[in-house]
Amino acid sequence: MFCRIVSFLHSWRLKLIALKRIIRIESLKWVKLCSGIRLKNYGFKTELNLVLLNAHTKANFSEMRSYIDNILFYVGINNFELTNIDLPYYLKGRSAQITNKGKVLGHFGEVHPSVLENWDINMPCAIIELSVMN
């Protein structure tokens, strides 16, 4: 019985694909009031994003890069660029930002071990987040 459980855990693999709406603050401005200076919001922007998560023992940057190549090929975007980005929730040097004609389309990378530990996730994960609106 124990061998079967270990075998199951080693072959465990999760793929999650989701569309999500996010709200971003469009612009902020410092406003001087009688009571002091306060940050005031001047608008919000709603975006629709495609999120892909891979969780398995060999989830990595290269695998997600191949997904990016395929997704963008099928939506007709062939001249995209990848640039290195350092976001705190990705492993340093194992993440990239996707741009096309000066517009940021999204980002992807391997999730940092400290983030996985904070969420009690015991499996390496890699994530892609693409803007559907751009």
Domain with residue 31: its CATH number is 3.30.930.10
Residue whose token pair is 């999120």: 51
In a domain, 93, yes or no: yes
Specify the pTM: 0.72
Task: For residue 49, give its domain range.
Answer: 13-131
Task: Kindly state whether residue 8 falls inside one of the protein's structural domains.
Answer: no
Looking at the predicted structure, is the pLDDT value of residue 23 above 70? yes
96 located within any domain: yes
Q: What is the pLDDT of residue 42?
A: 62
Residue 5 lies in a domain: no
Tally of structural domains, the chain: 1
pLDDT of residue 81: 94
Q: Is residue 105 within 8 Å of 99, Cβ to Cβ? A: yes
More confident residue, 52 or 14: 52
